[in-house]
């Protein structure tokens, strides 16, 4: 594919140079026509090869660096953890350390569970309040509330 693009760009540059160098006249018209014809064949030749079956159309796939994916994954998990902790503090006035369980599938982070570690003074919350906290965490992570564990 790279050679094809280079060929097209080269022919375009050649046609521009020929157009600038040639003097006006009948010969210039003939040469410009020939350059345009060559340019046409350069552009069309891969299509003809694919249609005739002598060459298969191939595209390069993008390769994602594993370190980049790991860095992005860590960043997503960290920012989500901070978001959950902030929501718990803002909505329930609870200071907690949140551990997020996740998996990566095709380089995409999928949250599968969470563990909320309450501070000592927040451990004695009633069960209704704990269920609300579970639901809030589950809502943020887009997981089932049964996958959220609260410890103290």
Rounded to the nearest integer, the mean pLDDT of the chain is: 83
User: Which are the contacts of 138, defined by CB distance < 8 A and separation ≥ 6?
Assistant: 114, 144, 145, 147, 148
Domain contains 60: no
Q: Tokens 């299509």 identify what position? A: 47
> Which of 71-85, 109-123, 133-147 has the least mean pLDDT?
109-123
47 plus 90 within the same structural domain: no
70 plus 123 within the same structural domain: yes
| DSSP for residue 3 | H
93 plus 115 within the same structural domain: yes
> Is residue 22 pLDDT above 80, yes or no?
no
pLDDT tens column, 99-115? 999 998 887 889 999 99
Position 80 confidence tier, pLDDT thresholds 50, 70, 90 = very high
6 plus 42 within the same structural domain: yes
Residue 103: which domain range? 66-151
90 plus 126 within the same structural domain: yes
2-18 exposure pattern, b = at least 16 Cβ within 10 A, e = fewer:
eeeeeeeeebeeebeee
Quote the CA–CA distance of 136 and 84 in Å, as a whole number. 8
> Is residue 14 pLDDT above 70, yes or no?
yes
If one counts every other C-beta atom within 10 angstroms of the C-beta of residue 94, the result is 22
Average pLDDT on 109-129 reads: 82
Quote the CA–CA distance of 25 and 32 in Å, as a whole number. 11
User: Which are the contacts of 18, defined by CB distance < 8 A and separation ≥ 6?
Assistant: 31, 32, 35
CB 72 within 8 A of CB 56: no
Both tokens of 59, joined, read 């595209």
Looking at per-residue confidence, does 18 or 84 come out higher?
A: 84
Average pLDDT on 33-40 reads: 83
Domain contains 36: yes
Instruction: Domain count for the chain, please give it.
Output: 2
pTM above 0.75, yes or no: no
Would you state the pLDDT for residue 118? 85
Quote the CA–CA distance of 48 and 51 in Å, as a whole number. 5
72 plus 125 within the same structural domain: yes
CATH number of the domain to which 134 belongs: 3.30.300.30
30 plus 105 within the same structural domain: no
Quote the CA–CA distance of 114 and 86 in Å, as a whole number. 15
Would you state the pLDDT for residue 77? 92
> Is residue 49 pLDDT above 80, yes or no?
no
Would you state the pLDDT for residue 102? 93
């Amino acid at each position: 594919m790279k050679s094809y693009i280079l060929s097209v760009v080269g022919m375009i540059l050649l046609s521009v140079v020929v157009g600038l160098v040639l003097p006006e006249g009948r010969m210039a018209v003939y040469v410009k026509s020939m350059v345009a014809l060559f340019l046409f064949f350069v552009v069309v030749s891969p299509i003809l090869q694919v249609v005739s079956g002598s060459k298969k159309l191939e595209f390069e796939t993008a390769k994602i660096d594993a370190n980049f994916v790991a860095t992005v994954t860590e960043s997503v998990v960290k920012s989500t953890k901070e978001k959950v902790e902030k929501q718990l503090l803002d909505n329930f006035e609870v200071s907690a350390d949140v551990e997020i369980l996740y998996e990566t599938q095709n380089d995409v982070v999928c949250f599968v569970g969470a563990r909320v570690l309450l501070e000592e003074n927040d451990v004695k919350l009633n069960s209704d309040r704990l269920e609300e906290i579970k639901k809030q965490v589950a809502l943020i992570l887009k997981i089932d509330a049964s996958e959220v564990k609260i410890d103290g």
